[in-house]
Amino acid sequence: MDEISSSIPVQYDTRTFPILASLNTGEMLFLRTLTVGVRVRRGVQVIREGQENKYLFLLKSGMLKVEKNYRGRVYSLACITPGQIFGESSFLYGTPAGATVTTIETSDIYQIHSHEMHAIIDSNEQFRRAVVQTSEYRLASAALAVNHVFQHLPPPAREVILYNARFVKLNEGELLYRDGDATNMFMCVIIGGRAEVSVNHPDRPGTRIVIGEVAAGDEVGEIALITEDRHCANVKALTLLRLLMISTETLMAFRNRYPEFNEALDRCVTEKLEERARIIEQQREFLS
């Protein structure tokens, strides 16, 4: 941060920062030695989306807003209030910041360099789980909020999805779906990482046609679920892939209840099938 008004003293307690409750006295004292306290004026971008973030932050006082750019549109995702951490996802996974965090008012912020913070988080499994859970929830909530289908659900409905869904991970190179598989019990929304979508060439066994890539905020697996047919694409992790897995039962319940969501989902399936057919035909002509 280049626009710091002044430094502030650092004082930790678990009433102000409940996420620190699993730290023992020695760890709390060590954390204090690692922390720099700063007072930041209103309107400062503490974290910029897409840039490297080297710190884990805790908000002592004030308020910040979280915004994400997705497909050319800026979405307002949440507010960060005193006692909360932020910057935890890029800290955990070593990835560029997935959203921009800006002060709404003058705010007192504690910052710890990620390299130093790992000394604590790597030695305290309970604390690590608390930070990971916070990260997964925020990433999933953001992905649903920006997704062009799930954004048609009201926030309470998206909260129900988060409560009932499963968080899953795939390592680089692993397949989530195979073209032709009959399993269609769930769809996924990507909350972190990238995946390649491809189809098996209809005329050339063993040849794949790449449709494109998907990343955080995109959905996969919904075509087989809605059409009740076999999967029509391969989805392979290009990086560590973090996913929100949504069951058929949950999806159908919301299809019946929210017409706009139902229409958006049907439109999504239709457009993807048309795009798939178009790309396959282009490859047929190219290889003929």
pLDDT digits (tens, 9 = 90+) for 175-211: 999 999 887 789 999 999 999 999 998 888 888 899 9
Cβ(30)–Cβ(71) under 8 Å?
no
Q: Tokens representing 65?
A: 């807003």
Question: Which pTM does this prediction carry?
Answer: 0.88
Helix, strand and coil in the chain, % to nearest 5: 35, 30, 30
- Residue 227 sits at φ, ψ, to 5 deg, of -80, -10
The predicted pLDDT at position 192 comes to: 92
Rounded Cα gap, residues 175 and 61, in angstroms = 44
Helix (H) or strand (E) holding 262: helix 259-287
What are 234's strand-pairing partners? 198
The answer to whether residue 151 scores a pLDDT higher than 80 is yes
Q: pLDDT tens, 3-34?
A: 556 788 999 988 999 999 999 999 999 999 99
Q: Is the pLDDT of residue 154 over 90?
A: yes
**Across the chain, what does the average pLDDT equal?**
92
Domains of the chain as residue ranges with CATH: 4-142 (2.60.120.10), 150-287 (2.60.120.10)
